[in-house]
């Protein structure tokens, strides 16, 4: 795939292969891994604008960044223009140059509050949210879907309204809220958004390989791609898409994540999180079902580390490291 830098409202990121914001996964340690393999831009997990203003400690922890995380964008969700603007102007977001507004989350709790993908049904409000955030002086991006239902897709209209309100970049997940994550992405709708606006459009949905990324770019004319679930299975996908000759060392990746997380999150959270992450990383490996059982039975990070060592030593001996 042809990769190139992307300008986002005056903020230039090194390439057009982005890592999606993934609630429960894209913490600072995982983002560091994605950047190492070549991600051009990563996003925080979804952060509540209201929770940020109420000084919620769990919300603030989502904003923690590793040393050197200069370009990382913060993803906010909410449906109040004043609240979103205040969040953008808060001390906690002072060092974030790019703010992404979530307008695509399909989760019922978010949708019922009029947030996330519910905004696809209220285009004037969506535009007001973008305009309010732009008043903070930050670069503002939007992540949306093609519509709420299959019967009413609004991609081009929605993208145009967001651009008119000041959005500097728009990411389109090529599925409606109704479809969640099922089926092939709607290339035609992403292409329609690209034709409708002059700002960069990033295509998201169903990209699990370099071939998928290339097809997405060819079918939509998008300015780049955003990788979601595939990054959880294999963060090396960024190097693959960019055509970089960079070998993956899963054992080292897991060890470094644990080492990064422990001082900040502590033993319990690190253990629970890394049992999940390593179970993703060994997907497709010979004997992975049995390994997963043992991973989730680990009672400490030291036990987890020892098990990771055993797993990859055994795989190396069998000549099937991944």
| Residue 272: both structure tokens together | 């629970």
Token representation of residue 108: 């019922």
Position of tokens 């400490």? 300
**Selection from 153, 85, 83, 95 nearest residue 123 by Cα:** 153
Alpha helix (H) residue ranges in 221-322 = 229-233, 237-242, 250-265, 267-281, 288-297, 301-318
Q: Which CA distances in Å does 64 have to 13, 154, 190?
A: 20, 35, 32
Q: Which residues are catalytic?
A: 105
d(CA 104, CA 172): 9
Which DSSP helix (H) or strand (E) runs through 50? Answer: helix 49-53
Structure tokens belonging to residue 270: 């690190």
* Cα Rg of the chain (Å, integer): 20
With H, G, I as helix, E, B as strand and everything else as coil, classify residue 83.
helix
Cα dihedral 224, 227, 230, 233 sign: positive
């Amino acid at each position: 795939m042809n990769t190139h830098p992307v300008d986002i409202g005056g903020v230039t990121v090194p390439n057009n292969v982005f890592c999606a914001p993934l609630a429960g996964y894209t913490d600072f340690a995982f983002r560091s891994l994605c950047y190492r393999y070549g991600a051009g831009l990563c996003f925080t997990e979804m952060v509540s604008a209201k929770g940020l203003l109420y000084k919620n400690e769990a919300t603030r922890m989502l904003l923690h960044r590793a040393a050197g995380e200069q370009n990382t964008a913060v993803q906010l969700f909410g449906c109040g223009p004043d609240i979103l603007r205040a969040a953008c102007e808060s001390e906690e977001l002072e060092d974030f140059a790019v703010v992404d507004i979530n307008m695509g989350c399909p989760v019922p709790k978010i949708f019922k509050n009029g947030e996330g993908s519910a905004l696809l049904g209220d285009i004037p409000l969506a535009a007001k949210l973008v305009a309010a955030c732009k008043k903070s002086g930050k670069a503002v991006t939007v992540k949306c879907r093609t519509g709420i239902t299959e019967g009413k897709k609004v991609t081009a209209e929605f993208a145009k309204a967001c651009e008119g309100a000041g959005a500097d970049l728009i990411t389109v997940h090529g599925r409606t809220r109704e479809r969640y994550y099922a089926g092939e992405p709607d290339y035609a709708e992403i292409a329609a958004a690209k034709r409708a606006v002059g700002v960069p459009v990033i295509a998201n949905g169903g990209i699990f390989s370099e071939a998928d990324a290339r097809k997405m770019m060819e079918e939509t004319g998008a300015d780049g791609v955003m990788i979601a679930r595939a990054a959880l299975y294999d963060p090396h996908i960024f190097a693959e898409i960019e055509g970089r000759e960079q070998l993956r060392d899963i054992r080292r990746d897991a060890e470094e994540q644990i080492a990064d997380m422990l001082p900040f999150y502590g033993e319990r959270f690190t253990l629970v999180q890394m049992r999940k992450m390593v179970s993703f990383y060994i997907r497709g490996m010979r004997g992975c079902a049995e390994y997963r059982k043992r991973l989730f039975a680990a009672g400490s990070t030291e036990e987890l580390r020892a098990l990771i060592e055993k797993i990859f030593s055994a795989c190396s001996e069998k000549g099937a490291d991944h």
